[in-house]
Amino acid sequence: MALNIIVCIKSIPSTVNVGVDAEGRPKIAGVPVAMNPFDEFAVEAAVRLKESVPGSTTTALTVGSDAAAEVLREAIARGMDAGALVTGAEFEGGDSFATSLALSAALKKLHAEKPVSLVIFGKNTSDAGAGVVGTQTAAWLDWASASAIKKIEAIDETSVTVLRMMEDGVDTLKLALPACISTVKEINEPRLPSLKGKMASKKAVFPKWTAADLGLQAGQVGAAGAGAVVVKASLPPARPAGLKIEGATAKEKAAKLVDILVERKLI
Amino acid sequence: MANGILVVILPSRGTLSPASYELLGAGKVLAAALKQPLVAAVLGGSSSTLAADVSTRGADKVLVVEHQSLTNFTEEAYAKAAAVAAEKAGASRVILPSTIAGRAVAARLAVLLKGGLATDVAEILPDGKIRRGYYGGNLIAEMELKTPIAVLTIAPMTFPRAEPSGAAAPIEAVSFEPGASKTEFVSFKGEESREIDLGAAEKVVAGGAGLGSAEGFKPVFELAHALGAAVGASRRAVDSGWIPYRHQVGLTGRTVRPKLYIAVGISGQIQHLAGMSTSGTIVAINSDKDCPLMQLASIAVQGEYSEILPLITAEIKNRKGHAVAA
């Protein structure tokens, strides 16, 4: 048994502490990009599967500009084997609906070349933060999906058994392969890139696929294919100035705080 | 032409959460904005009894999608059931909760319906546009849903919970055949402690690096119990192994919006603020009066938590005791 594992990753601004430009858009020009932090856990999960099932292959997949190739290099530095870049002006401005369609088309291509076992996603991205692209990608492919996965318990040629972290406990699920899972950070502790990995990442060459290469029309992806569009970004309203509790003793401060909370009907 | 707002209620382990009523509250706002009827659908293994409760809370009609395959939550079966309800209701908008299940159903459903999707909706505008936080809550996105049918998930604690009104809306059963599933539900293991879930809590007491140890969480739990609050934590406290990950609030944890958030020994790094800065009243208790959270707080109390927290807990218990006596 050998697995073919794909990890979908995203290149995002390296900080979420961004402002708004004059046109009402996030001011991200010039902000350095990095791999979405949650994707590190997905990459590590793939590398661990490869280590436990000899002969397996791991491929990182991303939709982005040419610069997004850097996050594919990061994935290789962290132990993955290969990468593929879905790129072109037609993909710009896509929402989760359009981007998941692009990913599903790329996965179809990979699946035709060599059957895919499992596709792993991070919990969500730090920029848009919806946490839905993994499940949407599975829906386009009509593959099984599960989110909030904290452990891959077992995997064979036909199925994967996973633990899902729900609000009130843990579900155990068995998904038929191929399947898409979205992970939470409890799944592992990612290792840092190794020296060997860094060397490999420098030499790596990635195939680049446009919409046409994936059998998609330009109007299906990017801003044209988006179902939900941001018309304006703004800063959140400033919070009203706060109150400082003063008091000679801790007991006095505690009593004052409780007074205010009672007055505001919070207790 | 689609004409209807559909609220999809997902019972958790056979019961309705208070957050379900918030969905109906959001549904009312959207139905009024778009001048469309409000329909609720209750999905589950045996959802008829829950539908009776839902029927008195403001929907014009309640659909029941009941099937053995919906006894436990799996993404495929639930999304298919929601799609059947959306078709039956002729929905232009479908509303779900921003829970793990709600988000996954919304994601699959949006693809099934070929509709746009907006998650974590915090505001519905009179023209039907929505607002949601992004970039870790540092920005607010105003969004337009361009497709004839669109799917929304509602941020918890943002819309009023629909109250029972007395009059009951008609309840209609919808037949549903899920077909073969690629997902098998094996088992569920509940949390042993009956802690209040962070996402739906009206009050949260959270601890951070300033607590110094796992032992430091003891007075935090005691205050939370006295208040009936959920317990949260910063990433540093979780990474130090003082408290499990499920308590983590922030960019890499949960997003909460309680009426009262008490942050103890949390300096307020931007990643933490991302998960709680829209809370109602924020109380910060910290020895460092200049840290970001003390600056952001509605009420800032400078002091040593180990000294001041037990005093606050005692004061609350004392007053509750008096209230009972009176």
pLDDT digits (tens, 9 = 90+) for A33-62: 999 999 999 999 999 999 999 999 999 999
pLDDT in tens, A166-216: 999 999 999 999 999 999 999 999 999 999 999 999 999 999 999 999 999
Q: Which residue has the higher pLDDT, B2 or B230?
A: B230
Whether B235 and B112 share a structural domain: no
| pLDDT value for B11 | 94
pLDDT at residue number A1: 86
- Identify the residue among A21, A151, A173, A235 best suited for mutation to test binding to B, counting B beta carbons within 10 A and taking the highest: A173
pLDDT of B151 reads: 98
Q: Are A200 and A79 in contact (CB under 8 A)?
A: no
Give the tens place of pLDDT for each residue, B226-258: 999 999 999 999 999 999 999 999 988 899 999
**Domain spans of chain A?**
4-225
B72-80: average pLDDT: 98
Partner residues linked to B254 by β-bridges: B249
- Is there a single domain that holds both residue B28 and residue B140? yes
Query: Domain span at residue B111?
Result: 5-173
Q: How far is A204 from chain B (nearest CA, A)?
A: 30
Residues B25 and B163 in one domain: yes
How far is Cα B32 from Cα B160, in angstroms, rounded to an integer?
15
User: Which runs of E-coded beta strand occur in B84-168?
Assistant: 93-97, 116-124, 130-134, 139-145, 150-154
B281-286 and B260-264 as β-strands: parallel, antiparallel, unpaired? parallel
Domain for residue B291, yes or no?
yes
Contact state of B116 with A228 under an 8 Å Cβ cutoff: yes
Q: Which helix (H) or strand (E) holds B232?
A: strand B230-233
Q: In this model, does residue B159 exceed pLDDT 80? A: yes
So what's the ipTM on this one?
0.95
Pairs of residues, one from chain A and one from chain B, whose beta carbons lie less than 8 Å apart: 258
Query: Nearest by CB to A168, which of B13, B117, B315?
Result: B13
Q: Which of B13, B301, B316 sits opposite A253 (nearest CB)?
A: B301
Cβ atoms of B291 and B210 closer than 8 Å:
no
Residue B188 resides in a domain: no
Q: Among residues B173, B207, B233, which one ends one of the domains?
A: B173
DSSP conformational letter for B192? S
Task: Flag whether pLDDT at B325 surpasses 70.
Answer: no
pLDDT surpasses 90 at B180? yes
Q: Cα(B305)–Cα(A121) distance, rounded to whole angstroms? A: 39
Percentage, residues of chain A above pLDDT 70:
100
Same domain, B36 and B73: yes
Task: Tell me which residues of chain A, numbers 180 to 199, contact chain B at a CB-CB cutoff of 8 Å.
Answer: 184-186
Rounded Cα distance, B249 and A22, in Å: 32
CATH at B11: 3.40.50.620
Q: Give the pLDDT band of residue A221 (cuts 50, 70, 90).
A: very high
- CA dist., res. B154 & res. B163, Å (int): 18
Q: Which CATH code fits A4-225?
A: 3.40.50.620
Q: Residue B324 — very low, low, confident or very high, per pLDDT cuts 50/70/90?
A: low
Residues B235 and B147 in one domain: no
Q: How far apart are CA A250 and CA B3, in angstroms?
A: 59
The answer on B294 and B235 residing in a single domain is: yes
**Average pLDDT for A116-143:** 97
The C-alpha atoms of residue B16 and residue B316 are separated, in whole angstroms, by: 31
Average pLDDT of the residues in A7-23: 95
* Shortest Cα distance, chain A CAs vs residue B127, angstroms: 13
Does a structural domain hold residue B190? no
- For residues B65 and B60, give the distance between their C-alpha atoms in angstroms, rounded to a whole number: 17
pLDDT value at B217 more than 80: yes
pTM of the model: 0.94
Residue B147 pLDDT greater than 80, yes or no: yes
Test A136 with B182 for CB contact under 8 angstroms: no
Is B101 found in the same domain as B230?
no
Compute, in degrees rounded to 10, the torsion defined by CA atoms A146, A152, A154, A160.
20
Q: Is residue B326 over pLDDT 50?
A: no
Pair A79, A199: CB distance under 8 Å: no
Average pLDDT, chain B: 94
Query: Residue B191: inside a domain, yes or no?
Result: no
The percent of residues in chain B predicted with pLDDT above 70, rounded, is: 97
pLDDT band of residue B197 (cuts 50, 70, 90) is confident
At what angle are helices A69-77 and A39-52 packed, to 10 degrees?
40
Asked whether the beta carbons of A6 and A110 are under 8 A apart, the reply is: yes
The mean per-residue pLDDT over the stretch A235-243 comes to 91
Amino acid B322: pLDDT: 67
Asked whether residue B144 is domain-assigned, the answer is yes
For B36-71, what is each residue's pLDDT tens digit?
A: 999 999 999 988 889 999 999 999 999 999 999 999
Starting at the edge strand found earlier in the chain, the sheet holding A4-8 runs A208-209, A82-86, A57-63, A4-8, A118-121, A179-183, A144-155, A159-166, A169-176, B183-190
**Which of B107, B139, B143 lies at the smallest CB-CB distance from A229?**
B143
pLDDT confidence of residue A8: 98
**Does B168 share its domain with B202?**
no
